[in-house]
Structure 1
Amino acid sequence: MMAQEGHSVRSVTALLNVSESGYYRWRRRTPCDRLLRRAWLSELIVSIHRASNAAYGSRRIHHELQCFYGVTVSRKTVELLMRQAGITGRTGRSGRSRPADPGPPRSARRCTPPAPRTPYASRPSGPRTPDKPRTPSPAGSGPPPGR
């Protein structure tokens, strides 16, 4: 990029007060995990958008990612990546008729939420005595008997 604009690496690094070796090391560095994940997500978002004939917006794409692809991502991140890719969903239904087959009912389209995490199972099962050490009760079994 610098050579295309007629600038030498030496002059630009001196202007920015960085070393030339640091510049070349930066140029060879691999992208971080966050950038790699965002690039992968962007490709996935664009493919979902294309498959919907450019109809899906961030909410529907977010729903597709979570329910059908199992990807955990915030809707705001989906909005940001869509904005950076220059894609938008269709707005409104004015001037168009409803499709002949609207698909499954809205309740069937919802995905099931992920299973809740199991509670930490180290609750004592009763009072400790010298001849009876404490044993953890099974998770979610409620209070010990007799209480």
Structure 2
Amino acid sequence: MCAVFGISRSGYYDWTRRKESGRSQRHEWLKKQIRRIFFDHRRLYGSKKILEILKKQGVQVAEKTVARIMKELGLKSQTIKKYKATT
């Protein structure tokens, strides 16, 4: 298969034994934190409120990153409509 893809066997086996990068480790940690916060707040919090909680915990992250991770995980906040009396 290495010949088909045009890569060396040693390069392939080096890649399979490589440790996970720091960036991907942080990404996985963020996924766990975002999922925990989302479910702790009854699936009502969106990316902005989750970002506020993460910042209070001292985590430096962008809102777009939180929104992207929520989309990857399939987490979508529920919107509660206020009651409006109609006559």
TM > 0.5: yes
> Are positions 1:15 and 2:4 aligned together?
yes
Aligned identity (percent) is 35
Aligned to 1:35: 24
Larger Rg: 1
Q: Give per-residue Cα distances to partners, 1:41-76, cap 9 Å, x unaligned.
A: 000000000101111110110011001x11010000
Higher helix share: 2
Length, aligned pairs only: 83
Q: After the TM superposition, list the runs of 4 or more consecutive aligned residues in structure 1 that deviate by more than 4 angstroms.
A: none
Aligned to 1:59: 48
Task: Could you tell me which runs of 5 or more consecutive residues in structure 1 were left unpaired when the two chains were aligned.
Answer: 1-11, 97-147
TM-score by length of 1: 0.54
- CA separation in 1, counterparts of 2:43 and 2:16? 36
> Are positions 1:75 and 2:55 aligned together?
no
Higher RCO (CA-CA < 8 Å; seq separation 6+): 2
Q: CA RMSD in A?
A: 1.2
Letter in 2 for 1:13: C
- CA separation in 1, counterparts of 2:52 and 2:78? 16
Q: SS state of the match for residue 59, structure 2?
A: coil
